[in-house]
Amino acid sequence: MQRTLSLLTPSGHLTLGNLLGALRPMAAAATAAPAGCFYGVADLHAMTTPHDPGRLRALTAETATLMLAAGLDDATVFVQSRVPAHAQLAYLLECTATTGELGRMIQFKQKAGDESTRAALFTYPALMAADILLYRPDQVPVGADQRQHVELTRDLALRFNRLYGPVFTVPELVLPTAGARVMRLDDPARKMGKSDADEAGVVLLLDPPDVVRRKVARAVTDSDTGPDAVRAAPDKPGVSNLLDVLAACGGSPEGLTTYGALKRAVTDAVVAELEPLQKRYAELAADPGHVASVLEAGAARCREVAGPVLAEAQSVMGLGPS
C-alpha cells in the first residue's frame, strides 16, 4: 500500500497557502488510501523560534482540528511530541547530517538572526527528516517552500543506508500542480505565511467570507488594463498568483477580462472552498473530547509503526545489544 506522510507546524493560524499547497493533496491521498496516510502537527518545530507555551498548546489543538475538518479524518492524525521516536531519531540524523548541509538551508538563513538564535532552528531539518523517515513513506506532499528540506531528507536516507544498512526508504517529493506556492495578496513577492504578523494579504482558513472578500479586493494586480490584462506572466506576479489560486480552487479564468472580475471569481472560489471546512471545524471544535481521542489513537498507531524503525536505526548505528 502507498504510504504518504506530511506535517504542519502550529506556529500561527493556518492559511490558504497551507490548504492549497498541503492539506488538499493530503486529503486526496487520504481518500485514496486512508490506512497508508500519516499526518501530524509538528509542535516540536514550533519551538525553534521564541514561543509562548499557552499559544503553542492552543495552536496545536486548532491545527489538528483544522486538519480533521479538511478531510484528513480517515488518516492517522497525530501530534509529533506524543511520539517520542521523532526526537530520538532526530538525534541519530543529526549524527548523519553535516553542519555545511544544515547551514545551506534557505529557511535557516532567512530566519537566523544573531547569537540568540535557538540551536534547534539550525538542527530543525534533521527533526523533519526524522518525521518523514520513521514512517518509510513513498510520498511526501508539501508546498514548494519545503522542497529543500525534503531533498535533504532524501540525501540523509541514502547516506544512512550506505553507511549503516538499508533502514530507510527514500521518499518522493510531491508538489501540487496549482497552489504549490501561494503568495501574499498585498505583496506577491512574498510567500503567504502563517507566522506573518501582518495578516492584510494573508487569507486565513477561519476568515469569514466578508474578510476574504475584503482581502482579495485589496490584492495587488497590475497597472496594465488592456484586453489581455488577465493573464499569468513573470512581470505580473499579483495577477499570476490570483490565477493560480483560482485554478487550485477549481475555478476557470474563461471570460475574465478585468481585474475586478478576476477578484470576484477568486473570492467566490475561495469562499466555496472554505465554507464546508469552516462548518466542519465548528462541529469538531464543539467536541474537543472527540478530537483528543482521535489524536490519542493516532499517536498510539504512530508509536507502533515508528518504534521498530527507530529500533532498527539504533541497532545498525551500534546502539544497544547486537
Q: List contacts with ligand TYM (CB under 6 A).
A: 6-9, 17-18, 20-22, 42, 45, 128, 131-132, 140, 142-143, 145-146, 179-182, 191-192
Query: Of residues 194, 215, 236, 263, which has the active-site annotation?
Result: 194
Q: Is 124 helix (H, G, I), strand (E, B) or coil?
A: helix
Q: How far is the CB of 42 from ligand TYM (least distance, A)?
A: 4
Q: Which residues contact residue 163 at a Cβ distance below 8 angstroms, ignoring those fewer than 6 apart?
A: 96
Q: Is 201 helix (H, G, I), strand (E, B) or coil?
A: coil
Q: How far is the CB of 226 from ligand TYM (least distance, A)?
A: 29
Phi and psi at 196, nearest 5°, equal: -70, 130
Residue 17 or 251 having the CB closest to ligand TYM: 17
The Cα–Cα gap between 265 and 130 comes to: 41
Q: How far is the CB of 111 from ligand TYM (least distance, A)?
A: 11
Is 191 annotated as catalytic? yes
Query: Of residues 109, 191, 215, 236, which has the active-site annotation?
Result: 191
Residue 140 or 302 having the CB closest to ligand TYM: 140
Q: Nearest-CB residue to ligand TYM?
A: 21
Q: How far is the CB of 148 from ligand TYM (least distance, A)?
A: 11
The DSSP bridge partners found for residue 41 are 8, 79
Is 236 annotated as catalytic? no
Q: Which residues contact residue 179 at a Cβ distance below 8 angstroms, ignoring those fewer than 6 apart?
A: 17, 20, 21, 24, 143, 244, 245, 247, 248
Is 111 annotated as catalytic? yes
The Cα–Cα gap between 191 and 198 comes to: 13
| Residues assigned a catalytic role | 111, 191, 194
